């Protein structure tokens, strides 16, 4: 998967858990694998120029603690190693 950061990069995590993203970042750092990450908040999207934001619509039915989307990418040449390490590293204790 090319991921948010484009050609030459693969996504190794995409999800809504800040804890999981931090676990993955720690694994990549410990193994000297360069990475990039992005955090997006779909609840703060703009409706259009001059039309305000979705905030005016309220947050009924949304779990605001899980509203953010996290993505971690690595160079394509590091992706297989990164996925192996992420899969085989134990989670937070």
pLDDT single digits (tens) 22-53? 999 999 999 999 999 999 987 665 544 555 44
pLDDT single digits (tens) 62-92? 555 567 999 999 999 999 999 999 999 865 4
Residue in the block written with tokens 């992420």: 86
Is residue 71 a contact partner of residue 11, using CB atoms and an 8 Å limit? yes
Reference 18, options 62, 81, 85, 66; nearest CA is 66
Contacts (Cβ under 8 Å, ≥6 apart) of 44: 53, 54, 55
Is residue 79 a contact partner of residue 10, using CB atoms and an 8 Å limit? yes
pTM comes to 0.69
Q: Where are the beta strands (DSSP E) in 1-93?
A: 9-15, 35-40, 69-75
CA distance 50 to 22: 36
Using the predicted structure, report yes or no on whether residue 13 has a pLDDT greater than 50: yes
CATH number of 9-88: 3.30.70.1370
**Which phi and psi (to 5°) does residue 39 adopt?**
-125, 125
């Amino acid at each position: 998967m090319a991921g948010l950061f484009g050609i030459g990069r693969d996504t190794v995590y995409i999800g809504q858990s800040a804890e999981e993203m931090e676990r993955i970042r720690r694994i990549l750092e410990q193994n000297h694998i360069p990475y990039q990450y992005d955090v997006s908040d779909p609840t703060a999207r703009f409706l259009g120029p001059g039309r305000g934001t979705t905030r005016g619509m309220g947050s009924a039915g949304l779990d605001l603690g899980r509203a953010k989307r996290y993505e971690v990418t690595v160079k394509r040449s590091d992706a297989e190693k990164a996925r192996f390490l992420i899969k085989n590293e134990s989670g937070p204790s």
